[in-house]
Structure formats: structure tokens, C-alpha cells
């Protein structure tokens, strides 16, 4: 995996770059839609290409449990299994183990995490080694190190121990990683504490990875301010020549603030999840198509949007689909919402090249908050 | 609406023809997918074009209740509302009023049918005039007369009265029909009784319609034998120069038997409904992808199928989507199943041209019943 810096920004950490991996080449900043179970919910791969999607994320936890990494390996890897011709990143499974197993018994030890499957309650153990070995078999282009994902409410002491454990886990994962076509990323943790983020970043970089992620910033209950601080404290110690990925962030304003702080890649279920609930992004904030006022609105979601949905469908029809629980509704809104975020990253790249990203941000926020 | 006879068959009633309406021109026999609420469930219109779909059916009952015929009229009609560039047939709403309201109070009078909305329980009245006026507003290419749909268990006496009522309703509907761009079809009823079918067909043809449908053959509990008889008895009295539509039939063998008996158009929810339950058509009968044996089956549903799904996806992946409740699964299977039936009609047209449709049927049935 190669990262090439195309343009840096004068007054901010923002950067316009290019990632190259396994023959795929895409410009950053990028938004990465989430294809949890080897499918971006409701969408075909052609629809992803059409919205200029370069990279998608698939969830190791889900694919491990079903259909199992061996089935996908036998299919020739994730790309062949799901017919996607683009970059695929797999997460480590850590986040799901920590969040899905939230209300069930889970047991975090230095070895790994014992937890119960959300499908059949089977007791399972996920370790740093196991996570990497599963990802090796899945054959994604980018694998993620297995990290501990502490809750937003975690104390300084807890986070300190958690950072130490995550570093040890990163070393163990790297040791067993043996898929030469697969890049491996490390993850920086440490909450909103400058010293923990610094320590985590420096130690993770010492291990040496193909890219670096910033984790623990998309927790429920975390303030925006803490998120931005966590990014600042982490990026400061990350190398210029490696790609940076902010995990779980998909709010448009957070993406802009992340780019300004030097982040290259973002992922989030937000655009597809809110789509299935009838919500969509616009330059003037989110709208909810359940609203009666769209019943006879025969205009597209956004006049100047180039997505398939806006080119072909009215809010009135989309509302009808949503009100009628027709899956085409969630599908058409997912297309718009993902394209909205990808267009945003394209415009951010342009703003970086023109050295006016702060002005772009201020304008965007002004419009976004004026309905 | 014009119907042109291209080729008739020597030993059977089968016919290869061409329908032309509002600038659209398609060959018959045709299979018509069901787009109940102005969307063929899970599919985009481009996917319909890709599977050579010419005509779709939309349900008057559902669109009347939501979003309402006035919203669709304001949108410029159904084609514009749902962005479909092909023929659209709307049913009369009769079948839904009779079946959806099955377990609720409904009151059938000569005036029409009083029933309760399945959405909010509101008491409503659907009459022959109202049905046609709604369809006029929906702006479909083909409207259907409002008919009484008696259950399969109905007595001879009941059916006799029902046929009389349906004829009176057809006359009343035709009188208020005033959309010059919209064809109007009459419906032949009469169960499996030769004299009732004959009477119904002759009287309906006397009224004069742009095409004729055969109703009351897709009832629960009806035998195949009764279905084929009902078709025979009806078709015998229908004019050669008008298109014939068998309502609610989508089993592959029934389509073949219907074509042999002189039917041109078929519709059914079967291909999309079974798709959402993980089932798909093959030349060797239906298969259910929930079956464990497909877990590592890395071949398409059918090697020689030209549909998008078979060109790109394996049974292993499709099974994974179905097992994971991912809507892409139902979508990909819907594409295969509809294309399967449309290909069947294409092959039937060829068999008619080659005068070997009976041999085609026997071969098809032999394969279909040999797993």
C-alpha cells in the first residue's frame, strides 16, 4: 500500500493524497461505506461504482460468524465472493465484540475477549492473532489490528491500561500477519487525553504499519470537542507518508473537521442507516421524508446532486416508497446519502488544492444549519 | 392498443403476436411482473429493462389508498411518478378488495363493494365507476374493468349471479372511461363451468374492449385441471385480433399451458415473493437457497442463464445474503426469477414460430420435475 501526498494545506493539517493498493488507485480524502456482511445494505456494486466509491468496509466479526472465513477463502476471497472490484478494508472485529456483546457477559483478558455470539449464544474467543488470521483468509486489501474499544465513560486509569493492551495486541497481530497482498493498519486509542494519545500513537508507529487509524472517537456520549481533540492529539504523532483513517465517523461536519485535522479516510453506517429510516442529507441539513410536506413535492432531494436518485426520482415518490416500507426507498436514499458524503470528500480535495478549506467549512456549516 | 398476430400454431391455440400502445411495442407471449405499490419489490426500473421486461402491473387498490390517485395525477401519471418507460397495466382493485378484506366485514352489492381499508380500517366503497376513474387518473396504459372475484369454493348459482354482476359492472365502467390514451380490458369470469365461461366471454366481447382477461383462475384451492378448462372455455369465445391476459398466473408450467391455450399475457407475484423467501426457479424445478448444500456452491443459480445475478453471483454468496436477511438477496433472486419467466416466454415465442410448442412443453416438464 502506497500513500502519495498530492497537496497539503497552508493553514491546516488537511491533505489531498492518493492511495494505491493491489492495482487500485484512489484519491483521498475518501468516504468508505460500510458493507457489514459483504454487502453495503440494499446496494449493488455497480451502484457503488456509479457513486465514485473506491473503498468499502466489511466486518470481520459478522463474516467470521456467518458464512465463516473458510467459505470466503474457498470462494477466492471477499472481492470474488461479493463481486466487488475496488478496495476492501476489514475491521478487526473488536468493535463488534465490545458493542454487540455489551449486554451479555464478556470477559476481557490479555489473551483476548471471551463473548457470546449474537446469533446463537455460542461462547467464543477473539484474540489479536485470531482476528488477523481471519482477515488474512477473508483476503481484504487492508486488515486492521485488534484493539480494545473502551466506552466513552472509561476513566483515565482504564484508558491507560487499555492503550497498553492495544499496543501489545498490535504487536501480536503483526507477528502472525502473513498475507503479502494485504496491508495492515495500527490503531491509536487513548480517549481525549493528550498524553495517552501521544503515547499510543508513538508506540503504534514504532511497531510499523501500512497506515494508522484513530479509534475510540465515535462512542455514544462523546462530545464533538473531545472527538476533535482526540484527532489532533493523535495526528500530531503520525507519519506524513502513511494514510490516516478515522474510524466510525460519518457526520458531514465531522468529516470536514477531520479532514482539516489531517485525516484521509472515514467510515460510517450513518448514510445507509438513516436512509432506511427515511432520512437524507442535504446542504441544508438532514430531512425526513416521512414529513407530510413532501407528499406532493415533485422535485429531487437536491437539484444540483448528480446521484442516480436525484437524477431520476422526486421526493414525492421517495416518500411514497418509505411510507409503504418498500426496500427501493432505503436503496434510493442510501445512494443519495453515500454520494452526498463522497461528493463532500471530492469538494474537500478541491478546497485543499485551492487553499480555502476553512472558508469551505464555514460556508458548509452555515448552510447546513439553516433549513 | 393494437394487437398484431405474427404466427399461429398448427396443433394448438398458441400464438406469437405483438402489442403496440402509446409508442411501446412488445412481442407476446409476455410475463408481467407485479409492481404493487408503483415499484416491483426491491428492483429498479433499469433492472427491469435489463431483463427485457416490457409491461408491469400496478395495483389500483394500493395506490388509491396510498399515496392517492391525485398525487400520482399531479406527478404526471404513474410512468413519471415511478420513472418507468414501458407499458403499465393497472388492475381494477377488485381482487384486493375481495382478498385483503377477506376476514373483515365486506358488503357486496350491485352498487359496488363496501369494505374496510387494510391500513387504517376506514370504511370505503369501491364501485365500477370509481375504479375506472381512479385508473384514469393513475394514467396507466391499460385499465381493467372492475369485476367480482368469487372464491374457488363458490357454487354454480353464486358464480352465475357473479357473472351477471361482472357484466353489468363492465358496462358501467366502460361508460365512465374517458382517458383516450388508456386501453380498457374486460374480464371473463365463470369458474370452471363451460356455459358460464361461454356466456361471460360472449357478453363481455359484445360490450367491446381493447383486450380480454381471464379472471378467477388463480384462486387458492383451485385444481390445475379446472384452471386449464376455464382458459379453454373462455378463449374459445374471444376474438383473434385482441390481446388475452390470464390474471395471476406465474407458475412456469401454467404459463406454458396457458400459451398453448391461446393466452398472450400473464402476471404473478410468485417470482418476487419466493425470491424474498430464498427460492428460485431453475430448469430442474425450484430450489431453496436456505439449504445447507449451497453453502460452498460457487456456481451461479443456472450456468446458461443470462440474468445479472447468474452472470455475477454464486449460490454461496446468494445463500449468505438470504441467511443474513440482506435485501440484496431478495433483489438478486427477484432478478433471476423474473428473467427466468421472461426467457420462458421468449422461448415459447420461438417454439410457436417453429411449430414445436408441445415438444417444448414435454421437455420442459420432464426437466422441471427431475431434480
Q: pLDDT by residue (tens digit) across B14-36?
A: 999 999 999 999 999 999 999 99
Residue among B231, B245, B234 at smallest CA distance from B3: B245
What CATH number does residue B118 fall under?
3.20.20.105
| Residue in chain B nearest A66 by alpha carbon | B320
Distance, in Å, from the CA atom of B331 to the CA atom of B328, rounded to the nearest integer, reads 5
Tell me the three cell numbers of residue A274. 438513516
Which pLDDT value is given to residue A97? 86
The answer on B121 and B42 residing in a single domain is yes
Domain of residue B316: give its range: 270-371
Inter-chain contact B67–A320, Cβ cutoff 8 Å?
Answer: yes
Which pLDDT value is given to residue A147? 96
Tell me the pLDDT band of B103, cut-offs 50, 70 and 90. low
Last residue of a domain, one of B209, B241, B268: B268
Which pLDDT value is given to residue A102? 53
The answer on B249 and B366 residing in a single domain is no
ipTM for the predicted complex comes to 0.96
Beta bridge partners of A288: A279
Global pTM exceeds 0.95? yes
Three-class SS state of B17: strand
The answer on B163 and B78 residing in a single domain is yes
Inter-chain contact A321–B39, Cβ cutoff 8 Å?
Answer: yes
Residue among B5, B14, B4 at smallest CA distance from B354: B14
Catalytic residues of A: 91, 267
Residue among A286, A258, A261 at smallest CA distance from A274: A286
A83 touches B: beta carbon within 8 Å: yes
The answer on A140 and A49 residing in a single domain is yes
The answer on A246 and A97 residing in a single domain is yes
**Residues 6 or more apart from B163 whose CB is under 8 A from it?**
B189, B190, B196, B199, B200
Q: Kindly provide the b/e burial profile for residues B214-232, where b requires at least 16 CB atoms within 10 angstroms of the residue's own CB.
A: bbbbbbeebeeebbbbbbe
pLDDT digit string, tens, across residues A88-99: 999 999 988 887
Mean pLDDT of chain B: 95
Say if CB B317 and CB A75 are below 8 A apart: yes
pLDDT digit string, tens, across residues B49-72: 999 999 999 999 999 999 999 999
Say if CB A190 and CB A200 are below 8 A apart: yes
**For the purposes of burial, counting CB atoms within 10 Å of the CB of A167, is it exposed (0-12), middle (13-18) or buried (19 or more)?**
buried
**Residues 6 or more apart from B362 whose CB is under 8 A from it?**
none
Say if CB B142 and CB B134 are below 8 A apart: no
Tell me the three cell numbers of residue A190. 487513548
Which pLDDT value is given to residue B102? 53
The answer on B243 and B279 residing in a single domain is no
The answer on B261 and B276 residing in a single domain is no
Last residue of a domain, one of B268, B284, B302: B268
Last residue of a domain, one of A234, A268, A302: A268
Nearest CB to A83; choose among B39, B66, B312: B312
**For the purposes of burial, counting CB atoms within 10 Å of the CB of A233, is it exposed (0-12), middle (13-18) or buried (19 or more)?**
buried
Residue among B124, B216, B204 at smallest CA distance from B168: B204
- Tell me whether strands B107-108 and B183-188 are parallel, antiparallel or unpaired: unpaired
pLDDT digit string, tens, across residues B167-178: 999 999 999 999
The answer on A370 and A278 residing in a single domain is yes
Tell me the three cell numbers of residue B93. 382493485
DSSP A138: H
Q: Which phi and psi (to 5°) does residue B43 adopt?
A: -105, 150
**Residues 263-302 of chain B whose Cβ lies under 8 A from any Cβ of chain A:** 295-296, 298
Residue among B137, B190, B183, B194 at smallest CA distance from B167: B190
Distance, in Å, from the CA atom of A1 to the CA atom of A19, rounded to the nearest integer, reads 7
The answer on A324 and A232 residing in a single domain is no
The answer on B243 and B180 residing in a single domain is yes
Inter-chain contact B296–A74, Cβ cutoff 8 Å?
Answer: yes
pLDDT digit string, tens, across residues B212-241: 999 999 777 778 999 999 999 999 999 999
Three-class SS state of B113: strand
The answer on A308 and A160 residing in a single domain is no
Distances (CA, A) of A245 to A57, A169, A262: 12, 19, 10
The answer on B128 and B140 residing in a single domain is yes
Tell me the pLDDT band of B152, cut-offs 50, 70 and 90. confident
Cβ of B68: how many Cβ atoms within 10 Å?
Answer: 16
A33, containing H or E segment: strand A30-33
| Residue in chain A nearest B315 by alpha carbon | A81
Chain-centroid distance of CA A151 in Å reads 18
Q: How many domains is chain A partitioned into structurally?
A: 2
- pLDDT tens series, chain A, 371 aa: 999 999 998 889 999 999 999 999 999 999 999 999 999 999 999 999 999 999 999 999 999 999 999 999 999 999 999 999 999 999 999 988 887 655 566 788 999 999 888 888 888 999 999 999 999 999 999 999 999 988 878 899 999 999 999 999 999 999 999 999 999 999 999 999 999 999 999 999 999 999 999 999 987 777 899 999 999 999 999 999 999 999 999 999 999 999 999 999 999 999 999 999 999 999 999 999 999 999 999 999 999 999 999 999 999 999 999 999 999 999 999 999 999 999 999 999 999 999 999 999 999 999 998 76
Inter-chain contact B323–A44, Cβ cutoff 8 Å?
Answer: no
Q: Is the dihedral of CA A128, A131, A134, A138 positive or negative?
A: negative
Amino acid at each position: 500500500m502506497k500513500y502519495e501526498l498530492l497537496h497539503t494545506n497552508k493553514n491546516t493539517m488537511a491533505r489531498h493524497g492518493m492511495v494505491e493498493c493491489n492495482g487500485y488507485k484512489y484519491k483521498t480524502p475518501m468516504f468508505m461505506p460500510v458493507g457489514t456482511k459483504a454487502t453495503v445494505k440494499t446496494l449493488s456494486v455497480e451502484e457503488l461504482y456509479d457513486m465514485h466509491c473506491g473503498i468499502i468496509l466489511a466486518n470481520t466479526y459478522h463474516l467470521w460468524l456467518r458464512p465463516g472465513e473458510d467459505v470466503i477463502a474457498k470462494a477466492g476471497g471477499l472481492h470474488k465472493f461479493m463481486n466487488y472490484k475496488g478496495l476492501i478494508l476489514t475491521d478487526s472485529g473488536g468493535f463488534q465484540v465490545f458493542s454487540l456483546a455489551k449486554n451479555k457477559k464478556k470477559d476481557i483478558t490479555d489473551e483476548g475477549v471471551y463473548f457470546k455470539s449474537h446469533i446463537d449464544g455460542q461462547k467464543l474467543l477473539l484474540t489479536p492473532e485470531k482476528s488477523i488470521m481471519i482477515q488474512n483468509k477473508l483476503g481484504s486489501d487492508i486488515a486492521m489490528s485488534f484493539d480494545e474499544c473502551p466506552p466513552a465513560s472509561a476513566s483515565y486509569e482504564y484508558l491507560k491500561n487499555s492503550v497498553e493492551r492495544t499496543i501489545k495486541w498490535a504487536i501480536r497481530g503483526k507477528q502472525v500477519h502473513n498475507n503479502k497482498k494485504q496491508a495492515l493498519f495500527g490503531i491509536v486509542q487513548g480517549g481525549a487525553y493528550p498524553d495517552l494519545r501521544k503515547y499510543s500513537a508513538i508506540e503504534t508507529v514504532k511497531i510499523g504499519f501500512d497506515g494508522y487509524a484513530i479509534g475510540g472517537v465515535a462512542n455514544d456520549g462523546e462530545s464533538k470537542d473531545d472527538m476533535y481533540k482526540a484527532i489532533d492529539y493523535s495526528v500530531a504523532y503520525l507519519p506524513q507518508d502513511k494514510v490516516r483513517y478515522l474510524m466510525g465517523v460519518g457526520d458531514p461536519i465531522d468529516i470536514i473537521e477531520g479532514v482539516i485535522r489531517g485525516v484521509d479516510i472515514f467510515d460510517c453506517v450513518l448514510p445507509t442507516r438513516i436512509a432506511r429510516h427515511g432520512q437524507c442529507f442535504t446542504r441544508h441539513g438532514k430531512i425526513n421524508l416521512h414529513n407530510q410536506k413532501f407528499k406532493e413535492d415533485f422535485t429531487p432531494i437536491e437539484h444540483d446532486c448528480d446521484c442516480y436518485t436525484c437524477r431520476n426520482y422526486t421526493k414525492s415518490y421517495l416518500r411514497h416508497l418509505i411510507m409503504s416500507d418498500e426496500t427501493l426507498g432505503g436503496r434510493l436514499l442510501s445512494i443519495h446519502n453515500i454520494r452526498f458524503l463522497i461528493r463532500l470528500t471530492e469538494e474537500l480535495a478541491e478546497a485543499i488544492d485551492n487553499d480555502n478549506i476553512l472558508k469551505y467549512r464555514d460556508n458548509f456549516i452555515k448552510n447546513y444549519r439553516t433549513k
